[in-house]
């Protein structure tokens, strides 16, 4: 008779596991490039086409093209933020763990793989001195951190600019190589808003530290090439300007999810919708920056809003750093 396997394969954690959600509206403070494909020597950015749900004068659906910060790109930047994190002995975290991209170590002890997942497609040998060697068995490790959102609010098409890769010589005679190499590149216009969300399923607080560190640390590195970087957009929230950021830790999803429809094209509508959902827990509107629901001694749902959400994420990131980097 066949023996079936019903367990997930995941080892138990040192403490209770929770679900964690991050919701944010990000803003590009300058133009940004997130590569999609190259066409006739033009580096294109990734865009999506959105049906706005409205009809034009002829009764045809109005479809707009929007810039896209795809969740897979954001995930890649976050994972690299962890791999390239500096550790005390002068190495980077990925080197200390023997974990990189695409060669993930896929170990349950790895703070990166146990949250982001890993894949070893067939039995492999690793180089001398690499942790986790000399052989690694084929293995799949499903990530418990997923990324969503990323469709820009404003329907502003990317702009195309001429750039040149200049050689390092400061002065040269005409006709002497090397010469600047011109190329064209598309950019997202500055001030585009990108509603995004990260969801971690059934991770311990210790495990979530890596996700918090990666989310915060990746903000300054978002984009391909230069320039880079995003910030959490700020708007009046609970009476003062605060980052549009919501952080949930829960067993039961009691909060209204602040997710902006990709069909929204007006920033004021997007911001108002985000805030309206941010302050709703269990069908009630709260004016508090931290909202808790208990079942006995167990906080079954806790939401941190704005600056409190940022501070709480920083707290988790610091705990991660204390264990792995300091």
Q: Residues near 19 by Cβ (< 8 Å), separated by ≥ 6?
A: 199, 200, 201, 202, 248, 249, 250, 251, 253
Please pick, from the candidates 22, 64, 99, 237, the single residue that binds Zn ion as defined by CB under 5 A.
99
Secondary structure of residue 274 in the 3-state scheme: helix
Q: Which residue has the tokens 């040269």?
A: 172
CA distances from 60 to 50, 52, 56 (A): 14, 11, 5
Measured from the CB of residue 174, what is the shortest distance to Zn ion in angstroms? 52
Measured from the CB of residue 116, what is the shortest distance to Zn ion in angstroms? 8
Closer by beta carbon to Zn ion, 124 or else 269: 124
Closer by beta carbon to Zn ion, 110 or else 145: 110
Residue from 212, 244, 225, 231 nearest 78 by CA: 212
Measured from the CB of residue 209, what is the shortest distance to Zn ion in angstroms? 15
Q: Which residue has the tokens 């990317």?
A: 158
Q: DSSP assignment, residue 14?
A: S
Is 133:127 a contact under the CB 8 Å cutoff?
A: yes
Measured from the CB of residue 92, what is the shortest distance to Zn ion in angstroms? 13
Is 27:21 a contact under the CB 8 Å cutoff?
A: no
Measured from the CB of residue 111, what is the shortest distance to Zn ion in angstroms? 8
Closer by beta carbon to Zn ion, 62 or else 130: 130
Please pick, from the candidates 22, 24, 67, 112, the single residue that binds Zn ion as defined by CB under 5 A.
112
Stretch that binds Zn ion, among 96-104, 283-291, 292-300, 309-317 (CB under 5 A): 96-104
Stretch that binds Zn ion, among 73-81, 93-101, 249-257, 297-305 (CB under 5 A): 93-101
CA distances from 223 to 12, 31, 155, 285 (A): 36, 10, 19, 36
Stretch that binds Zn ion, among 19-27, 106-114, 263-271, 316-324 (CB under 5 A): 106-114
Total residues binding Zn ion (CB under 5 A): 5
Please pick, from the candidates 32, 81, 113, 211, the single residue that binds Zn ion as defined by CB under 5 A.
113
Measured from the CB of residue 224, what is the shortest distance to Zn ion in angstroms? 23
Q: Which residue has the tokens 């790895």?
A: 110
Handedness of CA 10, 12, 15, 16 (dihedral sign): positive
Is 85:213 a contact under the CB 8 Å cutoff?
A: yes
Stretch that binds Zn ion, among 42-50, 109-117, 177-185, 290-298 (CB under 5 A): 109-117
Return the number of other C-beta atoms located less than 10 Å from residue 150's C-beta: 23
* Residues in 208-267 that interact with Zn ion by CB under 5 A: none
Radius of gyration in angstroms for the set of CA atoms belonging to the chain, rounded to a whole number: 23
Please pick, from the candidates 45, 105, 278, 313, the single residue that binds Zn ion as defined by CB under 5 A.
105
Identify the helix (H) or strand (E) that includes residue 276.
helix 267-278
Measured from the CB of residue 98, what is the shortest distance to Zn ion in angstroms? 8
Stretch that binds Zn ion, among 55-63, 108-116, 239-247, 293-301 (CB under 5 A): 108-116
Stretch that binds Zn ion, among 72-80, 102-110, 212-220, 240-248 (CB under 5 A): 102-110
Distance, in Å, from the CA atom of 217 to the CA atom of 210, rounded to the nearest integer, reads 10
Closer by beta carbon to Zn ion, 61 or else 134: 134
Closer by beta carbon to Zn ion, 133 or else 273: 133
What tokens were used for 76?
């890649």
Give the total residue count for the chain. Answer: 326
Closer by beta carbon to Zn ion, 129 or else 175: 129
Please pick, from the candidates 110, 219, 254, 271, the single residue that binds Zn ion as defined by CB under 5 A.
110
Give contact residues for Zn ion (rule: CB under 5 A).
Answer: 99, 105, 110, 112-113
């Amino acid at each position: 008779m066949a023996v079936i396997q019903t367990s997930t394969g995941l080892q138990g954690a040192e403490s209770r596991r929770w679900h964690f959600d991050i919701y944010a509206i990000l803003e590009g403070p300058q133009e940004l490039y997130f590569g999609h494909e190259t066409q006739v020597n033009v580096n294109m950015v990734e865009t999506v086409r959105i049906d706005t749900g409205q009809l034009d004068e002829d009764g045809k659906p109005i479809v707009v093209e929007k810039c896209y910060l795809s969740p897979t790109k954001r995930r890649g930047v976050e994972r690299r933020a962890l791999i390239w994190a500096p550790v005390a002995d002068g190495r980077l975290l990925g080197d200390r763990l023997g974990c990189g991209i695409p060669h993930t170590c896929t170990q349950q002890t790895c703070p990166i793989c146990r949250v982001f997942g890993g894949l070893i497609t067939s039995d492999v040998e690793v180089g001398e001195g690499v942790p986790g060697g000399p052989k690694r068995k084929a293995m799949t490790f499903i990530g418990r951190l997923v990324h969503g959102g990323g469709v820009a609010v404003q329907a502003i098409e990317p702009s195309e600019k001429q750039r040149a890769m200049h050689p390092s010589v400061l002065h040269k005679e005409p006709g002497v190589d090397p010469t600047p190499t011109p190329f064209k590149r598309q950019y997202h216009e500055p001030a585009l808003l990108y509603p995004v969300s990260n969801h971690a399923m059934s991770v311990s607080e210790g495990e979530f530290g890596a996700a918090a560190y990666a989310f915060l640390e990746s903000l300054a590195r978002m984009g391909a090439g230069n320039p880079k970087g995003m910030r959490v957009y700020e708007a009046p929230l609970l009476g003062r300007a605060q980052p549009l950021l919501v952080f949930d830790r829960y067993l039961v999803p009691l909060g209204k999810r602040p997710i902006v429809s990709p069909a929204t094209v007006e920033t004021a509508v997007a911001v108002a919708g985000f805030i309206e959902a941010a302050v709703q827990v269990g069908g009630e509107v709260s004016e508090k920056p931290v909202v808790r629901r208990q079942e006995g001694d167990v906080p079954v749902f806790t939401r941190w809003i704005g600056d409190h959400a940022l501070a709480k994420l920083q707290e988790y990131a610091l705990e991660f750093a204390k264990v792995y980097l300091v």
